[in-house]
Structure 1
Amino acid sequence: MPPPEDPDPDRAALLARWLDLTRRVLPGMAVAQRWPIRRDHCFMRVCLDAALGGRWDAAVRRPAIRHLTPAQLQAAVAAAARIAAEPGLLPGLNRQSLAWRGRLR
């Protein structure tokens, strides 16, 4: 699905970066890194939770892509970029995200 139209060019660029990281970059790294997740929506969950310090859906209406504030979107992009740069972070961030949801096995 293409990103929604956004009249703010800075937000549009940030949103494009977010989608590239979570739909292409991180899923592309998943197999080589032996990460426990592979799908784009899982990376979005982990990054949003890390950026917001808890369940993202407790702080932002769905769909997040339309309701994130600029600061929240920037923090989510930063979390995704940090994972791409430091792949060893992902398993711990995923576990924390699952724990916040009561889904940790």
Structure 2
Amino acid sequence: MASPDLVDEWFALTREKMPALAEERGWPVRFDHCFQRILLDNAVGGPWREHIVPPAYRNAPDDLLKRALDTGRAAIEGEADLAALNRRSLEWRGKL
């Protein structure tokens, strides 16, 4: 189960910071649940629901949520390509 501090950080990142930057960065998604899907899928290497019982923010182990947060921070810093991460997520889900 994720620690409360990580959950707070998760929601700040995916509900506030990333959506606020989406248009400016030209990211392919705008909504919190899309950022959450992308970050979690890439943290587990496939559709997150195959690895974590919903709700993910409550049930993800700390190390996994930290990996997802690190990926989100890297996207914000321009060190990770959010469009590529999104494509990978969609491929894993058979949506491309």
- Identify whether the pair has TM-score above 0.5, normalized to the shorter chain: yes
* Aligned-residue offset at 1:39: 0.3
Which consecutive unaligned segments of at least 5 residues does structure 2 have?
Answer: none
Asked whether the 8 Å contact 1:47–1:79 carries over to 2, the reply is: yes
Q: 1:48 to 1:71 in 2, by over 3 A?
A: same
* Contact 1:31–1:38 (CA under 8 A) maintained in structure 2: yes
> Partners of 2:79 and 2:18 in 1: how far apart?
9
Report the CA distance between 1:88 and its aligned residue.
5.8
Change (3 A) 1:30 1:90: same
Q: Distance in 2 between matches of 1:37 and 1:52?
A: 20
State how far apart, in whole Å, the 1-side matches of 2:62 and 2:43 are.
12
Instruction: Report how many residues are paired.
Output: 96
2:16, 2:45 → 1: CA distance?
24
State the identity as a percent. Answer: 38
The 1-side partners of 2:60 and 2:11 are apart by 13
What secondary structure does 1:102 align onto?
coil
In structure 1, the gaps of 5 or more residues are 1-5
The two structures have a TM-score, normalised by structure 1, of: 0.84
Judge conservation of contact 1:33–1:87 (CA < 8 Å) in 2: no
Deviation per residue, 1:63-101 (Å, 9 max, x gap) = 111110111111111111111111761000000000000
Name the residue aligned to 1:80: 72
Question: What secondary structure is seen at the aligned counterpart in 1 of 2:81?
Answer: helix
**C-alpha distance in structure 1 between counterparts of 2:95 and 2:39, whole Å:** 17
Partner of 1:12: 4
Which amino acid in the other structure matches residue 48 of structure 1? L
Regions of 4+ moved over 3 Å: none
Give the aligned partner of residue 95 of structure 1.
Answer: 87
TM-score norm. by structure 2 comes to 0.92
